[in-house]
């Protein structure tokens, strides 16, 4: 696989092209103990960008004369604050930063999808990096890292707010009352486990599918010269549509985090 594109005669087939693009650059001996370097590095880069922006803005912001960047951040912060106010019962100093971080980080990682699919891998190959997946959220490890972190917080706050017995009672007597305890346990367990699984899989599925469609569109131009026109047209349309998808997925992840943690903060004595 010396070439990154499929439009050369001796290049890879379509299947090879796609598989190549969906292959992480990883170290490790297979199984669980593998580190996907591309995922880690790109997400760290984006986290670094966020940290830099956060640090710089935190130092330079002024209450009296907010400038462009500060206005944007203030709008985002206010938007997140509004969501929390609307959904979240009570107050928790962690929920704000958590929701804001999820929103911005997931958005940035998703936005990597908008960079032309071949650009960064091709550049990587120029310096000898063979595999590169540039969108961290197309890696299940990333989406589940976020989802499991949120899940851990859900359990933590469930126990903290409801008490260990309260949390246990939720499993025993929710949703059908005390006469169907076995069913209750199964139902509640499924309900709880479904939260991180749906969080992680939703984001992964959306971003993976989006990336895959970008790859398929990229293949159009490679097939023949006539494919260029549909490639450009479809690529543009899909990219524009994808702007919606990446924002929406970041927003949904944030919103569901707030909702789930809000549910964990509700005292369910009556159940």
Partner 1 sequence: MSITATLIGQMITFAILVWFIGKYLWGPMTQMMDDRKKRIADGLAAAERGKHEQELAEQKATQHIKEAKEQAAEILAQAQKRGAEIIEDAKDDAKAEGERLITAANAEIEQEVHRAKESLREQVVDITVAAAGKIIKKEIDAKAHGELLKDVVGQI
Q: Which member of 6, 98, 199, 215 binds partner 1 (CB under 8 A)?
A: 98
The answer to the question of residue 43 lying near partner 1 (CB under 8 A) is yes
The answer to the question of residue 231 lying near partner 1 (CB under 8 A) is no
Q: How far is CA 74 from CA 54, 88, 108, 115, 156, in A?
A: 11, 20, 17, 26, 30
Classify burial at 138, counting beta carbons within 10 Å of its beta carbon; exposed 0-12, middle 13-18, buried 19 or more.
buried
Q: Which member of 6, 18, 100, 117 binds partner 1 (CB under 8 A)?
A: 100
The answer to the question of residue 206 lying near partner 1 (CB under 8 A) is no
The answer to the question of residue 184 lying near partner 1 (CB under 8 A) is no
The answer to the question of residue 104 lying near partner 1 (CB under 8 A) is yes
Nearest to 22 by CA among 135, 186, 156, 152: 135
CA distance 90 to 258: 12
The answer to the question of residue 125 lying near partner 1 (CB under 8 A) is no
CA distance 199 to 208: 14
Contact region with partner 1 (CB under 8 A), list: 39-47, 122-130, 189-197, 234-242: 39-47
Contact region with partner 1 (CB under 8 A), list: 34-42, 160-168, 174-182, 186-194: 34-42
Q: Are 218 and 212 in contact (CB under 8 A)?
A: no
CA distance 116 to 227: 17
Residues in touch with partner 1 (CB under 8 A): 22, 26, 28, 32-36, 39-40, 43-44, 47, 50-51, 53-55, 57-58, 61, 63, 73-74, 77-78, 81, 93-94, 96-98, 100-101, 104-105, 136, 139-142, 144-146, 148-149
């Amino acid at each position: 696989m010396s070439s990154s594109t499929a439009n050369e005669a001796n290049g890879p087939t379509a299947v090879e092209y796609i598989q190549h693009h969906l292959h992480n650059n990883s170290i490790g001996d297979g199984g669980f103990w593998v580190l996907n370097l591309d995922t880690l590095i790109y997400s760290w880069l984006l986290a670094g960008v966020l940290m830099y922006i956060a640090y710089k803005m935190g130092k330079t912001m002024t209450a009296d004369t907010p400038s462009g960047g500060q206005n944007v951040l203030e709008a985002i912060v206010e938007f997140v604050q509004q969501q929390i106010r609307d959904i979240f019962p009570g107050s928790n100093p962690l929920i704000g930063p958590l929701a804001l971080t999820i929103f911005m980080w997931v958005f940035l990682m998703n936005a990597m999808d908008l960079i032309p699919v071949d650009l960064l891998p091709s550049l990587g190959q120029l310096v000898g990096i063979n595999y590169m997946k540039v969108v961290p959220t197309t890696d299940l490890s990333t989406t589940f890292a976020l989802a499991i972190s949120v899940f851990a917080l859900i359990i933590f706050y469930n126990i903290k707010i409801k008490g260990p017995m309260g949390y246990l009672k939720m499993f025993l007597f929710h949703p059908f009352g005390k006469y169907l305890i076995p069913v209750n346990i199964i139902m509640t367990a499924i309900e709880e486990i479904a939260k991180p699984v749906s969080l992680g899989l939703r984001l992964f599925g959306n971003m993976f599918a989006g990336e895959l469609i970008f790859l398929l569109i990229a293949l159009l131009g490679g097939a023949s010269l006539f494919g260029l026109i549909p490639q450009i047209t479809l690529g543009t349309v899909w990219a524009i549509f994808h702007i919606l998808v990446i924002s929406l997925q970041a927003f949904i992840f944030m919103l569901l985090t707030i909702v789930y943690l809000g549910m964990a903060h509700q005292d369910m004595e009556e159940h």
